[in-house]
Structure 1
Amino acid sequence: MAEALANISQVHDLGMIQIRADLARAGDAIAGAAGLAIPAQGMTVSDGTRRLGWMSPDELLLVLPRAELADTLAALNDALSTEHALALDVSDMRVAFRIQGVGALHVLMKLCPTDLAAMPVDALRRTRAAQAACGIWREGDGYVLIGFRSIADYLQGILTGAAMPGTGLEPR
Structure 2
Amino acid sequence: MSDPAVSWSRIRDRGMIGLRADLSVGVVCKALQKACGAPVPETRRLSIKADRTLAWMSPDELLLTLPHAAVPATLAALAEAMEGRHHLAVDLSDARALFRVEGPGAREVLAKGAPVDFSRAAFGPGDFRRSRLGQLAAAFGQVSEDPEAFEMVCFRSVSAHVERWLDVSSRAGSLPGVF
Alignment RMSD: 1.7
Partners of 1:2 and 1:116 lie apart in 2 by: 20
Q: Which residue of 2 aligns with 1:146?
A: 153
Identity, in percent, stands at 36
Deviations 1:69-93, CA, capped at 9 Å, x for gaps: 1111110111111101111101100
Partners of 2:60 and 2:81 lie apart in 1 by: 16
Q: Which residue of 1 aligns with 2:141?
A: 137
Partners of 2:127 and 2:2 lie apart in 1 by: 32
Compute the TM-score of the two structures, normalised by the length of structure 1.
Answer: 0.93
- Deviation (angstroms), 1:159: 1.0
- CA contact 1:51–1:63 (8 Å) conserved in 2: yes
- CA contact 1:5–1:164 (8 Å) conserved in 2: no
Q: Which residue of 2 aligns with 1:59?
A: 61
- CA contact 2:52–2:65 (8 Å) conserved in 1: yes
1:1-172 map, 5 Å? 3-25=3-25, 26-117=28-119, 118-139=122-143, 140=146, 141-167=148-174, 169-170=176-177
- CA contact 2:105–2:175 (8 Å) conserved in 1: no
Partners of 1:74 and 1:59 lie apart in 2 by: 18
**Aligned length in residues:** 172
Q: Which ranges in structure 2 are unaligned for 5 or more consecutive residues?
A: none
Structure 1 segments (4+ residues) deviating >2 Å: 1-5, 165-168
Q: Which ranges in structure 1 are unaligned for 5 or more consecutive residues?
A: none
- Deviation (angstroms), 1:103: 0.8
Partners of 2:95 and 2:118 lie apart in 1 by: 25
- Deviation (angstroms), 1:120: 3.1
